[in-house]
Amino acid sequence: MPHLNLSGRSLSWAMILLLFFSSCKKDIHPIPSGVKVDSKPNKASILPFPLDWEGANNQYMPSPTTLLAPWAFGSNQEFISDIAFDYKVSDGWELVFNTFSTTGTTSPAFFALYNKWRGLLRLYLYLPPSTPTPSTYLNDGLSLSGVGVSPMLNYIGVAQAIDYNNNVRNTTQVEPFRIQASGGWQVGQYEVAFDPNIQTVGYDQLKMIWNMQAVDVSQFNVSGAINGTIAGTISQQAASPDLSGTVTSAINAAYTGMGQSLVNLTPAAAGLSTAMFNAGKSAIQSGLNNIVKNIFSGIFGGSSSPTVQQVQLSLSASVTLTGTLTSTSGLGNPSLVIPGCLNSQTAPGYVPGYLGRMGVFYLSAKPKVNITEAIGGVINSYQGYHQNVVRHNYSIDNNSFSVVYNPDVINSSSSGAHIENFKKELIYFGPIIGPIGTWITADGTTETVGAVSIQSNCTYSDNDQWFGPGIPLHQSHGATAVRISFNVVPNTNPTNISPLIVKTFYMTEVYQ
């Protein structure tokens, strides 16, 4: 056997290489199940530049000049303070995009984090110092572009329940912040629905576009409260991802992103009517106590912080822009490769650093509710017409749909999570007052969700109905929906980071 003669210098280099590859190995994330990655990367693809967003140097961004990170004290933070320190890897955050580096600058300059336990995509945009832009608010939105279709945006801007059959292409949000002459950070946060088919859609067939602009609007009217300022995010599904087309019209929008700060505000400071404010405050307090009440859509908890728990709340609000859109200013419009799409790593330009599919869950089909009618005796008669009490009995058709979880998140691995406290409830939108001379009541628990009254755990509704020539048997008696709720519990170290997720979906009514 030959004698190996390693000099001290050779041995040192061998040890350095061994330590290098050992340290690199720790940072390699396994490819989630079901994700297809091209084995021949495109030379034009750019992975996110390294970003130590949680490490020792997280107060600075990689930049040729000194640039404070969005959560660092001293930086201009034009976003809700509740999310400032919510970025820990142990709480589910992953790096998706990053254009910041020490070797150059890009425009627009942004990075993105994604929370796999909550299904939240958060984009951070840095605006350098510039001439002041007239603005009272920021207007941002996420849209889908291309020939592909996806339900990914169906959770954003939903004022009441989600329509499974309506694949949303554009969303728009109004943020209660403005452009500073000294520059600063703007943030857009969006909840993503799981699309089980996204792995079959190429990056050239469907992409996300993030749009942000400054708007100058004089006044809002939110559910009866006229205020010049707002404290939360007014979110809606729109024909286009900007505010221009809705300036003079009323909007039935979700009032999201209030966070835990709403609890410490007054109705006037929040820009809400007293009824809306109280409903939102009650929803937040219930959700953080793991109680599903006064909620259509929300995410509660998910942060290991002992002081500020995270809330992504949607309330049904009637919004009217009472002022005029005096000016707009475009700030950024980057196109983004969708994580988990077919061959996402071979796209030209910036590609995702997160390989999994986004979103926690979606449904396999639109849910159905079976309705049986029981017509009672005549209580009134008039010229050949008669009035009866009609009882509608409801039962969810559990065979009509299933809950589809993202296997890149919900799995048995040490980096995965499981579901606990799963619950389904039938929601009846009422009781409501019908035409003159009619009434509608329902059983269940009365809840107030923003500006809407509902009955949860409903099994039947009663209404009086006129019968006679030309009157259909099945008259409208209020909409029905199913509310899904559960906790996402990480398989490793689940303490304090098991968010409660709530979503409500309209149902198809099937008369038996």
- Determine contact, residues 153/86, Cβ cutoff 8 Å: no
Measured distance CA(298)–CA(262) in Å, rounded = 14
Task: Indicate the residue type of 484.
Answer: I
Give the pLDDT score at 35.
46
Instruction: Determine the pLDDT at residue 15.
Output: 36
What does each C-alpha distance from 236 to 82, 143, 325, 476 come to in angstroms? 22, 12, 17, 26
In whole angstroms, what is the distance from residue 150 CA to residue 145 CA? 10
User: Tens-of-pLDDT digits for all 512 residues of the chain?
Assistant: 434 343 443 333 333 333 333 333 333 334 444 444 444 555 689 999 999 999 878 999 999 989 999 999 999 998 888 899 999 999 999 999 999 999 988 889 999 999 999 999 999 999 998 877 778 888 899 999 999 999 999 999 888 899 999 999 999 888 888 888 888 999 999 999 999 999 999 999 999 999 988 887 777 777 777 666 777 888 888 766 566 555 445 566 777 777 787 888 888 888 788 888 888 899 999 999 999 999 999 999 999 888 888 999 888 777 776 555 666 777 888 999 999 999 999 999 999 999 999 999 999 999 999 999 898 888 888 888 888 888 999 999 999 999 999 999 999 999 999 999 999 999 998 766 655 556 788 899 999 888 788 999 999 998 888 888 887 776 666 789 999 999 999 999 777 789 999 999 999 999 98
Written as one string, the DSSP assignment of 228-282 is: S--SSEEEEE-SSSSSGGGTTSEEEEEEE--GGGGGGS-HHHHT--HHHHHHHHH
User: Who contacts 263 (Cβ-Cβ below 8 Å, separation ≥6)?
Assistant: 281, 284, 285
> pLDDT tens-digit profile of 399-411?
999 999 999 999 9
* Whether the Cβ atoms of residue 17 and residue 11 lie closer than 8 Å to each other: no
Supply the pLDDT for residue 323.
55
Residues 271 and 278: their CA atoms lie apart, in Å, by 12
**Alpha carbon of 366 to those of 394, 454, 479, 507: distances in Å?**
16, 20, 14, 6
| Residue 14, both tokens | 């061998």
- Partner residues linked to 233 by β-bridges: 256
CA–CA gap between residue 374 and residue 159 (Å, rounded): 32
Pair of tokens at residue 240: 């286009």
Instruction: Map tokens 């899904």 to a residue.
Output: 484
The answer to whether the beta carbons of residues 36 and 199 sit under 8 Å apart is: yes
Q: Are 324 and 247 in contact (CB under 8 A)?
A: yes
Residue 157 DSSP one-character state: T
Backbone angles phi, psi at 455, to 5 degrees: -115, 120
Using CA atoms, how far residue 84 sits from 81, 128, 310, 335, 425, in Å, is 5, 19, 11, 25, 34
How many Å apart are CA 345 and CA 36, to the nearest integer?
9
Tokens standing for 6? 């390693």
What are the C-alpha distances in Å from 114 to residues 12, 82, 235, 352, 432? 40, 17, 19, 11, 40
At residue 489, the 3 state secondary structure works out as: strand
Which residues on neighbouring strands pair with residue 174, listed in sequence order?
A: 139, 234
Q: What is the DSSP string of 438-480?
A: --EEE-SEEEEETTEEEEES--EEEEEEEESTT--SS-----E
What is the DSSP secondary structure assignment for residue 64, as one 8-state letter?
S
Residue 43 is predicted with a pLDDT of 61
| DSSP conformation class of 192 | -
Beta strands 480-490 and 225-227 are unpaired
Beta-ladder partners of 254: 235, 316
The reported pLDDT for the residue numbered 70 is: 95
Signed CA dihedral, 176, 179, 182, 187: sign only: positive
Using the structure block, give the residue that is written with the tokens 């919510």: 86
What is residue 211's three-state secondary structure? strand
Cα 114 from Cα 68, distance rounded (Å) = 21
The structural domains of the chain, with segments of one domain joined by +, span: 30-360, 363-511
Full DSSP string of 337-362:
PPTTSBTGGGSSEE--S--SPP-SEE
> Residue 504: beta bridge partners?
483
